Amino acid sequence: MSRRIIILGILYQAFFAFASRRVEQSFYIPSTLQNRTSYTVFESLASGLDGPKVQPINATTFDWWYFDVVSTNPPDLSTAVCIPTPDSVTDITVAVLWISFPNGTLWSTASHADGATVKVNGDYTDGTWDNSGFSWTSKESGYLIEIDAPDAGVTGTISFRTVAPPHYPCGPAEAGQNLELGPHIGWANAISDADSTVDLRIDGDTPFAFRGTGYHDKNWSDVVFGTHITSWYWGRGRLGPYSLVWWDVLGRTGVETFSAYAAKDQKILAASCAPESIKARPIGQNSTYPPVLSTGNPSGYHVELDLGVDGKLELDLTVLAPTIALNPEYARFVGNMSGSITGERNTERLIGMALFEQFKLTE
Ligand SMILES: *[C@@H]1O[C@H](CO)[C@@H](O)[C@H](O)[C@H]1NC(C)=O
Ligand SMILES: *[C@@H]1O[C@H](CO)[C@@H](O)[C@H](O)[C@H]1NC(C)=O
Ligand SMILES: *[C@@H]1O[C@H](CO)[C@@H](O)[C@H](O)[C@H]1NC(C)=O
Ligand SMILES: *[C@@H]1O[C@H](CO)[C@@H](O)[C@H](O)[C@H]1NC(C)=O
Ligand SMILES: *[C@@H]1O[C@H](CO)[C@@H](O)[C@H](O)[C@H]1NC(C)=O
Ligand SMILES: *[C@@H]1O[C@H](CO)[C@@H](O)[C@H](O)[C@H]1NC(C)=O
- Give the position, in ligand 3's atom list, of the atom nearest the Cα of 202: 4
Looking at the fold, whether 133 and 36 belong to one and the same domain comes out as: yes
- 17 strand-pairing partners: 22
In whole angstroms, give the CA distance from residue 66 to residue 214.
11
Question: What is the CA(71)–ligand 6 centre distance, in A?
Answer: 13
Report which bound ligand comes closest to the CA of 102: 3
Q: Where residue 16 sits, what CATH number does that domain have?
A: 2.40.370
Mean pLDDT by 10 residues, the chain (363 residues): 29 29 79 94 96 93 95 89 68 93 95 95 96 94 97 98 98 97 95 98 96 97 90 96 97 96 97 96 97 96 93 95 92 96 76 96 92
- Whether residue 241 has a cis bond before it, omega within 30° of 0: no
Looking at the fold, whether 55 and 91 belong to one and the same domain comes out as: yes
Looking at the fold, whether 11 and 158 belong to one and the same domain comes out as: yes
Give the domain range for residue 72: 1-224
Looking at the fold, whether 209 and 138 belong to one and the same domain comes out as: yes
- So what's the pLDDT on residue 74? 79
Looking at the fold, whether 153 and 298 belong to one and the same domain comes out as: no
- Residue finishing a domain among 209, 224, 239: 224
First to last CA, the chain: 44
Q: Are 199 and 157 in contact (CB under 8 A)?
A: yes
Helix (H, G, I), strand (E, B) or coil at 78: coil
- Residue finishing a domain among 191, 209, 224: 224
- So what's the pLDDT on residue 193? 98
Question: What is the CA(39)–ligand 2 centre distance, in A?
Answer: 9
Looking at the fold, whether 255 and 117 belong to one and the same domain comes out as: no
Q: Are 30 and 49 in contact (CB under 8 A)?
A: no
Looking at the fold, whether 177 and 250 belong to one and the same domain comes out as: no
Looking at the fold, whether 161 and 237 belong to one and the same domain comes out as: no
Looking at the fold, whether 122 and 194 belong to one and the same domain comes out as: yes
Looking at the fold, whether 255 and 207 belong to one and the same domain comes out as: no
Helix (H, G, I), strand (E, B) or coil at 152: helix
- 311 strand-pairing partners: none
- So what's the pLDDT on residue 22? 53
Query: At residue 308, what are phi and psi to the nearest 5 degrees?
Result: 75, -130
Question: What is the CA(34)–ligand 1 centre distance, in A?
Answer: 10
Q: Is the CB of 103 under 6 A from ligand 3?
A: yes
- 124 strand-pairing partners: 121
| Domain total in the chain | 2
Question: What is the CA(67)–ligand 4 centre distance, in A?
Answer: 10
- Residue finishing a domain among 165, 198, 224: 224
In whole angstroms, give the CA distance from residue 334 to residue 81.
11
DSSP string for 348-363: PPEEEEEEEEEEE---
Looking at the fold, whether 153 and 241 belong to one and the same domain comes out as: no
DSSP at 88: S
Pocket test for ligand 5, best of 287, 297, 317, 356 (most atoms within 8 A of CB): 297
Looking at the fold, whether 204 and 337 belong to one and the same domain comes out as: no
